[in-house]
Amino acid sequence: MGIKAYNLSKSFDEGKTFALKNVNIEISQGEFIAVIGLSGAGKTTFLRAINGTNSPGTGTLEVLGQNVTTLSGKSLVSLRKQVGFIFQQFNLVKSLSALQNVLVGRTAYSPLWRSVTGCYYASDVTLAKKTLDSVGLRGRYDEKARNLSGGQQQRVAIARALVQEPKIILADEPMASLDPKLAEVVLDILAAVNQQKNITILVNIHVLELARKYAKRIIAFRKGELVFDGKPESLTQAILEEIYDVDKATL
């Protein structure tokens, strides 16, 4: 089912400038895609369009067989359940434990009173613990998020996305606030998830080397336009100059 965008455009100022401009792309289930481009190029807007966080722009955007540009209410909630989102700043509830933060990812699967009272299904608790184990946080279940390091917090955030049992994970510069070694740990986990569970991964990466190392397909935005879509080895110097809009000397 994947993701399909046809002439997708999005403007925040009534058409004066475009955060996304006539984007056409088809993404198959199970792909691992790195999204690159300068700050302000449209990377975040693209990810937010896919999970329906942005109000619809123009054109068509189909995600997992649903037309996101016309979805609302229950259908939108049900789509979001299948799309995990990982943020640069982790977005955990700092006063809650690692386990409680992961259980937030099960909210859409249980009645509201259970999440509010913390009375989670035993099966959800088992799943959450198993998932924390899988991201290298075995035994850290009860630690408050605020006491975990940045890298550990991001792994909790990944676990929270995973217990949603998503078909797609969108990660918006998930390694940007981590040092380079931890950045690779986060990308290793996403790569493993992609391979083992066939979850489609779209990850915004501002470090080009990391995009090249991890992704089989790279897409690049420049001023809202998709200016590259291909294999890492096809990213030539000329294309990089176009994407990053700078002269040779600074690359």
Ligand X SMILES: Nc1ncnc2c1ncn2[C@@H]1O[C@H](COP(=O)(O)OP(=O)(O)O)[C@@H](O)[C@H]1O
**Binding interface with ligand X (CB under 6 A):** 12, 19, 37, 39-45
Q: What is the 3-state secondary structure (H, E, C) of 77-127?
A: HHHHHCEEEECCCCCCCCCCEHHHHHHHHHHHHCCHHHHHHCCCCHHHHHH
Burial of 144 (0-12, 13-18, 19+ CB in 10 A): middle
Residue 235 touches which of Mg ion, ligand X, none (Cβ within 5-8 Å per kind): none
Q: Which stretch binds Mg ion (CB under 5 A): 39-47, 123-131, 149-157, 208-216?
A: 39-47
Would you state the structure tokens that stand for residue 145, as one six-digit string? 């998020």
| Comparison of 44 and 97: residue with beta carbon closer to Mg ion | 44
Count the residues of the shown chain that bind Mg ion, applying the rule CB under 5 A: 2
From 19, 44, 51, 208, residue interacting with Mg ion (rule: CB under 5 A) = 44
**Residue 54 engages Mg ion in binding (rule: CB under 5 A):** no
Q: Which does 237 bind (CB under 5 to 8 A by kind): Mg ion, ligand X, none?
A: none
> Which segments within 151-246 are labelled E, that is strand?
168-172, 200-204, 217-222, 225-230
Q: Which is nearer to ligand X, 40 or 151 (CB)?
A: 40
Q: Which residues contact Mg ion by CB under 5 A? A: 43-44
